[in-house]
Chains A and B, each alone.
Chain A
């Protein structure tokens, strides 16, 4: 339950940063905007980690799983670039719908592979959420016509 609440909260942080990053991109351009984004993230996370963990470097085994796990920042870079490029062209609600279909579809598959079975609840819940999104979109479109 607590994790469900945290996941909802993460959505709030996503909406806020998407808006700010779009503004940042408008001032500095996409490439520099994304760089500033990671620079700020690094500048904030480094002192926090030092404060909590000290300077001890975790003992890790370097294998292909670790190398794969390292790619998140690079994938995020590409996703943020694409986000900032698409959002002004397609609108925040539309991109949200398509992003979500991509995310949830992939998420269900990854969870299914990891857990060994596919959750019907996740699919049904996801479809309802998409239905709600599409409903919102149609209302917004009708209003702007």
Chain B
């Protein structure tokens, strides 16, 4: 149990490092190929990589069978994420792009949990959490103003 926790924590950190590298190289591709073509290429590379993985794992049957349409929208929303990241990273840098994205993510998660949408367990936002949100907002303002 404890070993699992350490392993998963390490994997989480590693995934974070990979995301920062990914955002950087995607921004590079965007400046080389242009905003819109780079979006297609990034997804094509991801599609080929994951497709190859499915072939290796011999798991190519019934890929789209029984998938609720709403669940497929994660990939479509991902296009918006990459587009926004590419626009930001070449202008305000990697750290600020990811730092502010994190704050946006937390605010969204809080809204999602507060209303219990998307099948999440309902957790009302309480005033007890106010200092946490204030810290994050202060951190965002410092990042924006002091850099």
Q: How large is the interface on A (under 10, 10 to 19, 20 to 34, 35 or more residues)?
A: 35 or more
Given contacts A36-B75, A42-B43, A135-B132, contact A126 B50 (CB under 8 A): no
Task: Establish whether residues B101 and A102, one from each chain, have CB atoms under 8 Å apart when the complex forms.
Answer: no
Task: Establish whether residues B13 and A28, one from each chain, have CB atoms under 8 Å apart when the complex forms.
Answer: no
Our pick among A65, A68, A129 for the contact of B136 (Cβ within 8 Å) is A129
Task: Establish whether residues B34 and A128, one from each chain, have CB atoms under 8 Å apart when the complex forms.
Answer: no
Q: Does B49 contact A (CB under 8 A)?
A: yes
Interface residues of B in 8-41 (CB under 8 A from A): 8-9, 11-26, 28-29, 32-34, 36-37, 39-41
Task: Establish whether residues A38 and B64, one from each chain, have CB atoms under 8 Å apart when the complex forms.
Answer: no
Q: How far is it, in angstroms, between the C-alpha of A44 and the C-alpha of B57 when the chains are bound?
A: 26
Task: Establish whether residues A15 and B94, one from each chain, have CB atoms under 8 Å apart when the complex forms.
Answer: no
Q: How large is the interface on B (under 10, 10 to 19, 20 to 34, 35 or more residues)?
A: 35 or more
Task: Establish whether residues B72 and A36, one from each chain, have CB atoms under 8 Å apart when the complex forms.
Answer: yes
- Chain B: minimal CB distance from A16 (Å): 5
Query: Which residue of B is nearest A110, CB measured?
Result: B94
Task: Establish whether residues A27 and B94, one from each chain, have CB atoms under 8 Å apart when the complex forms.
Answer: no
Q: How far is it, in angstroms, between the C-alpha of A37 and the C-alpha of B84 when the chains are bound?
A: 18
Given contacts A82-B11, A103-B102, A128-B138, contact A49 B39 (CB under 8 A): yes
Q: How far is it, in angstroms, between the C-alpha of A110 and the C-alpha of B23 when the chains are bound?
A: 11
Given contacts A76-B42, A82-B14, contact A4 B96 (CB under 8 A): yes
Interface residues of A in 74-127 (CB under 8 A from B): 74-79, 82-83, 85-86, 89-90, 92-96, 98-108, 110-111, 114-115, 119-122, 124-127
- Which B residues lie within 8 Å of A4 (CB)? 92, 96, 100, 140, 144
Q: How far is it, in angstroms, between the C-alpha of A12 and the C-alpha of B105 when the chains are bound?
A: 5
Q: How far is it, in angstroms, between the C-alpha of A4 and the C-alpha of B97 when the chains are bound?
A: 7
Task: Establish whether residues A32 and B63, one from each chain, have CB atoms under 8 Å apart when the complex forms.
Answer: yes
Task: Establish whether residues B49 and A73, one from each chain, have CB atoms under 8 Å apart when the complex forms.
Answer: yes
Our pick among A9, A78, A133 for the contact of B132 (Cβ within 8 Å) is A133
Q: How far is it, in angstroms, between the C-alpha of A125 and the C-alpha of B15 when the chains are bound?
A: 21
Task: Establish whether residues B40 and A90, one from each chain, have CB atoms under 8 Å apart when the complex forms.
Answer: no
Given A68-B25, A128-B138, 17 other A-B residues pairs in contact with their CB atoms under 8 A = A7-B104, A11-B102, A14-B104, A20-B74, A24-B71, A31-B54, A35-B54, A44-B75, A74-B49, A76-B22, A86-B8, A102-B15, A105-B20, A122-B95, A126-B99, A130-B139, A132-B135
8 tightest A-B CB contacts, nearest first: A102-B16, A11-B104, A121-B146, A73-B45, A40-B75, A128-B139, A125-B143, A132-B135
